[in-house]
Chain A
Amino acid sequence: MAEGLFAFAARRAGVNVLLLMLVSLTGFMLLHATPGGPLAQFSLSPGMTTERLNQIAHSMGLDQPLWLQYVKWLGGLLKGDWGHSYRDHAPVLSIIVAHLGATVELGLASLVISFLGGLAMGLIGALRAGEAIDALCSLVGVILLSLPTFWLGLVFIYFLSVRTGWFPAGGLMAPGDASASDRLRHLALPAMTLGLVSIPVWGAYVRAFAGDTLNQDHIRTARALGVPGWRIVLRRVLPAALLPLIPIAGVYLPTLLSGALVTETVFTWPGVGRLFLDSLQYRDYPVALGVLMFSAVLVLICSLAAELLHHAADPRLRA
């Protein structure tokens, strides 16, 4: 179907705005469905009276109709006012941004590992389709896909940290040590954990896309003309297999974030995932809800960006 890049972007953005409304409504309802509602944290503090609680409720606007609260909250979100933490009254958005760096660092490192691993696994599988090594690759893929992330992390901690002392068992860096090598040593185990379990996600797609390309006429022609195998893979198969991976990168983000939460918990990595878990434990609902909304927005923006990029990179989608 003929559709310009702009029309495509506009249509997708329209759908995404609708999705965001739905997502924000869900998040808002969840917050208000919590036991004790947004006041839960305050009602737990000692010496709290019903009168004082009502005052707080009034000052927070909780005595207003629910739909009005939602509209106000949504307006605040759009203006960048995401509320304040119950714990230290810091603005939610700045707390999230402060934790974002560690998660991005972990996410990118694991993305490199999983992408390169998946590329290798998928290409081997496609080039040796039906052979023993293809079956082995798919078996390894299923196993990696089935490993609980936290358990793999614990196994790494035990064998590569506790037993051998090669890597630190957790944290972002050693206290007082800001060297790059120390940061990399701390990054190694969590990145490997998160990266390994994601290899099959990429491997499966590369395997399928590369397999499709290998069956095409121009590859057979190139082979018949005597073009070396590595050259065919590098020049023809790889670009064709990478192109459809672009939109998948957007879809992959939620998986990455979920994995990051678990990995950050095991390795006491101070990222957004651990922030989320901590704020749930402290009933710091504005922060928890903020992280939930933030990740949903991030997922939508990234999948839209990935789709646009794919649309721009693949002329067949526009023709």
Chain B
Amino acid sequence: MSGADAILSVRTHLHDLRPRGRIAACYIVLVVIACVAGPWVLPYGHAHIDLHHRFLSPISAGHPLGTDEIGRDLLTRVLMGGRVSLLVGLASTILSTVIGTALGLVAGYNSGAARFLITTIIDATLCFPVVFLMLTLAAVLSPGVGTIIGIVTLVSWMEAARVVQAQTRVIRKMDYVTAVVAMGATDRYVLLREVLPNVAPAVIVSATLTIARAILLESYVSYLGYGVQPPDASWGNLLNNAQEYLESDPWLAIIPGVAIALTVTMFNLLGESLRDAIDPSLRARGSRS
């Protein structure tokens, strides 16, 4: 199977996407457009301070979602925060998927020291509670969007690596692989032309679920003050000091949280629907593990 065939097979799977998967895909497209284009369209800069209009409640004139403690427009802030959160989610997912897939291919194809080393590193990384490890790294490194992308990558690559490793181990024992090896194919050829296209659908599913998790992880670290730093906004750090104003102005806490919850839900729904479409046997069993 060539790379083009693999993409074609994913495309035919898309026709099997459940309605909830389609809704999720539409939502994601809309959110990305809103976050990218929205701040240009809206009249306020995300750092535009207006001390005469602090703590406006939602559905105020000119401020659909109200304003924060120094009069910044919350809708603009949420959309700007969305840019950062989505960027972190996407960038760290691409990085961790590439790293995880490469390590998974190596570990699944070899049976000696390489596999042992990689699986041991995976297991060791999984020993740490994720948020503890992320906060330690964030405390060591200087904070910023690049740093948080790196940190999220560092705790997210294992998922793709495990999926790819397991699949590679199955595929390399298949008859057609034995056949091309007998015909003199090199390891490189087998990995890139036979194994990789066949693990691609599983990688796409795991990447979609990883985006969801990455957005959530960024929000945790930024909420705790170790991620994206003010005045830059991210969905996590918008909630950073919202707890102070919870009594008087709960919207400041509730609205950015809804943005996180909704977006992460949609990525998870899309990932699960993709998995069901690609592997109908899972739908029959209803397994989500």
- Chain A interfacial positions (CB closer than 8 Å to B): 15, 18-19, 22-23, 26, 30, 33-35, 125-126, 129-130, 134, 138-139, 141-143, 145-151, 154-155, 157-158, 162, 200, 204-205, 207-208, 211-212, 251, 253-255, 257-259, 261-262, 265-266, 276-277, 280, 288-289, 291-292, 295-296, 299-300
Which residues of A have CB within 8 Å of B20?
139
Which residues of A have CB within 8 Å of B257?
148, 151, 154-155
Inter-chain CA distance A204–B275, complex, in Å, is 15
Contact B137 A146 (CB under 8 A): no
Contact B127 A142 (CB under 8 A): no
Contact B132 A291 (CB under 8 A): yes
Q: Given known contacts A22-B120, A154-B243, A211-B286, is B140 in contact with A295 (CB within 8 Å)?
A: no
Which residues of A have CB within 8 Å of B289?
204-205, 208
Known: A204-B289, A208-B286. 16 other contacts (CB 8 A): A19-B127, A22-B121, A141-B288, A142-B269, A147-B264, A150-B219, A155-B254, A155-B257, A157-B243, A208-B288, A258-B129, A261-B131, A262-B220, A292-B128, A295-B129, A299-B128
Contact B254 A19 (CB under 8 A): no
Inter-chain CA distance A15–B119, complex, in Å, is 11
Name A27's closest neighbour in chain B (CB-CB).
Answer: B136
Inter-chain CA distance A288–B260, complex, in Å, is 29
Chain B interface size, as a band, is 35 or more
B85 CB, nearest partner CB in chain A, Å: 11
Which residues of A have CB within 8 Å of B124?
19, 22-23, 26
Interface residues of B in 227-261 (CB under 8 A from A): 236, 239, 242-243, 246-247, 250, 253-254, 256-257, 260-261
Number of A-B residue pairs having CB atoms within 8 Å of each other in the complex: 160
Set B140, B224, B269: member contacting A277, Cβ < 8 A: B224
Name B283's closest neighbour in chain A (CB-CB).
Answer: A130
Which residues of A have CB within 8 Å of B142?
35
Inter-chain CA distance A35–B140, complex, in Å, is 6
A96 CB, nearest partner CB in chain B, Å: 13
A35 CB, nearest partner CB in chain B, Å: 7
- At the interface, yes or no: B126 with Cβ under 8 Å from chain A? yes
SS class, residues of chain A in contact with chain B? helix
Inter-chain CA distance A141–B289, complex, in Å, is 12
Contact A158 B265 (CB under 8 A): no
Name B265's closest neighbour in chain A (CB-CB).
Answer: A146
Which residues of A have CB within 8 Å of B186?
none
Contact A154 B239 (CB under 8 A): yes
The 3 lowest CB-CB distance pairs between A and B, nearest first, are: A151-B257, A204-B288, A146-B264
- At the interface, yes or no: B74 with Cβ under 8 Å from chain A? no
Task: Convert B60-104 into 0s and 1s, putting 1 for each residue whose CB lies closer than 8 angstroms to a CB of A.
Answer: 000000000000000000000000000000000000000000000
Which residues of A have CB within 8 Å of B236?
148
Which residues of A have CB within 8 Å of B194?
none
Contact A143 B239 (CB under 8 A): no
The residue in A150, A211, A251, A257 that gathers the most chain B C-beta atoms within 10 A of its C-beta is A150
Inter-chain CA distance A157–B272, complex, in Å, is 31
Inter-chain CA distance A277–B269, complex, in Å, is 32
B37 CB, nearest partner CB in chain A, Å: 25
Inter-chain CA distance A162–B242, complex, in Å, is 14
Name B282's closest neighbour in chain A (CB-CB).
Answer: A208
Q: Given known contacts A146-B268, A154-B242, A262-B224, is B250 in contact with A257 (CB within 8 Å)?
A: no
